[in-house]
Amino acid sequence: MASFYVAAYLLFWVTAVILTVLRRSRMIFLMWPIVLLYPYAWVRSQFPFLPLGLHDLYVFSCMALLLVDLSKIRRVLDPGVMRLTLVLLLVTMVAHAWGLMVLLINHPSLGWTLPLINFAADMRFLPPVFMVAVYVDSIEKARVASRSFVFAIIVGFSLVVADGYSPVIYDLFNHTAYQSRWQDHMRRAVGGFSGPWEVGAIAAMSATAGLAMIGRRRLASQTPVAVLFILSFLGTTLSLSRTGLVSWVLGVFGMGVFSPWKSRWRLVLPMVATAVVLLSLRFGQSEWESVSVVDIIETRFETAFVGGHLAGSAKKRVSIWDQQWDWISTGQYSTSELWLGVGGLEGSVLNFRASSHSGFFGPFLYYGLPLGLLLQIVLGILLVKAVQLGTRTHSPGIPLLVVVMLSTMISGEFLTSNLSAAVFAFLIALLARVESFHLEQGAIRSIAVKGPRPAALPG
């Protein structure tokens, strides 16, 4: 099975490169299968000399091809949430680069290999936004892009579910983009994603965007979205990501409450299908025992509280926050660290043996007060702009995507993952482009009904 998967991926990769070079717009439906289904461990073992992955090489090729259309990017980039999302990604890239520079100043023995690789990986932020802005110029192209993403994410979460049952998945991916030595990866299924929180974040975003796609002009049909719903929920459950489960429910519940009445009937099939799976599916633990999805969820949340007190990983995260806050409040945080940060996530690990585990507190610690504050300001403006757009278009998809992303940042570090950020940016850009088509069509219909405005009389 592993050999077949690798052969199929390599064949698809070569074909995708050729097709994209021949016609640049094809990247809108070829990129996500290459990025989301990449067999990390196998490629590492066969090409140890490659500092970057084959999927990175494809994305960089797309970026180079997009530069040909640079003037068009400036002209068609949506001035609202799409452009603000790009600003968020650029600020995040600057913050990451700044953190790595501070890290090297404080620890020069680390060398320049890590910063260069991380900066190159961050470049994966940008092509999804640019390719939507340039090549998704009609509702038909939007359907192609959305269906390709839905297909890739369905396969991706199928691998997460399979990860709970077969060592083949671990052999293909080793669970992460880096060589994992974390023992918990053997217990928590994450497939080809970087970790459990990333599974939860991408699952919540995908489920929310899936409902928005079938609620707005049927970008995706109900059956694939129902499959996506089931697999994303199961993947989040088997990854044991509490934050992911909460964010998933928040996004889905919000879509059900705030969607227009005429769109709500399209949401019924995915929700009913997921509820049936939730109530009926059981996983075998032994020849005589099995556990339901509800049991897994209950057990995971119960482990966070024992005897009315925090326990397990929940207690550990609060302890990390307490430790880092004590470090600041007791004066161990120097003036230079206050303004410049400790050297990004890697610097936090060197100082505390742990990252911050908070997308709101972490940036201040990692990058210093100015950059941390700038990130939070951009996030706040993006939320306001998203809500304004959702109010104007009567579609809650974009604001709920931002809310879901913010919810994952409470106890996770969303913007440290270039994959999560790229998925977020793509979905925001795609839905924003669809809303612009919808507004344009509405304006055209209004003119057709009312007729053009009469010209003003001279004088």
Cα Rg, the chain, nearest whole Å: 23
User: Which residues neighbour 3 within 8 Å (Cβ) at sequence distance 6 or greater?
Assistant: none
pLDDT in the model for residue 204: 94
pTM confidence score = 0.87
Between CA 332 and CA 161 the distance in angstroms is 44
Between CA 257 and CA 396 the distance in angstroms is 9
Can you give the chain as a three-state secondary structure string?
Answer: CHHHHHHHHHHHHHHHHHHHHHCHHHHHHHHHHHHHCCCHHHHHHHCCCCCCCHHHHHHHHHHHHHHCCHHHHHHHCCCCHHHHHHHHHHHHHHHHHHHHHHHHHHCHHHCCHHHHHHHHHHHHHHHHHHHHHHHCCCHHHHHHHHHHHHHHHHHHHHHHHHHCCCHHHHHHHCCCCCCCCCHHHHCCCCCCCCCHHHHHHHHHHHHHHHHHHHHCCCCCCHHHHHHHHHHHHHHHHHHCCHHHHHHHHHHHHHHHHHCCHHHHHHHHHHHHHHHHHHHHCEEECCCCCEEEHHHHHHHHHHCCEECCEECHHHHHHHHHHHHHHHHHHCCCCCHHHHHHCCCHHHHHHHHHCCCCCCCCCHHHHHHCHHHHHHHHHHHHHHHHHHHHHHHHHCCCHHHHHHHHHHHHCCCCCHHHCHHHHHHHHHHHHHHHHHHHHHHHHHHHHHHHHHCCCCCCCCC
- Distances in whole angstroms, Cα of residue 52 to Cα of each of 34, 113, 121, 131: 14, 11, 8, 22
Evaluate the CA torsion angle 62, 68, 72, 77 in order and state its sign.
positive
Between CA 355 and CA 415 the distance in angstroms is 13
The one-digit pLDDT tens for each residue of the chain (459 residues) are 678 888 999 999 999 999 999 999 999 999 999 999 988 877 877 887 777 788 888 998 999 999 888 777 777 766 788 889 999 999 998 998 898 888 888 888 777 776 777 777 788 788 999 999 899 988 899 999 999 999 999 999 998 888 877 667 777 776 444 444 444 545 678 888 877 888 899 999 999 999 888 876 667 777 888 889 889 998 898 888 888 898 999 998 898 888 887 777 777 777 888 788 777 777 665 555 667 777 777 777 777 666 665 566 666 777 777 777 777 777 677 788 888 888 888 888 887 777 777 888 888 888 988 999 999 999 999 999 999 988 888 889 999 999 999 998 887 776 778 889 999 999 999 999 988 887 776 555 555 555 554 544 333
For the chain, give every domain's residue range: 1-68, 80-135+333-446, 153-302
pLDDT in the model for residue 28: 94
pLDDT in the model for residue 261: 75
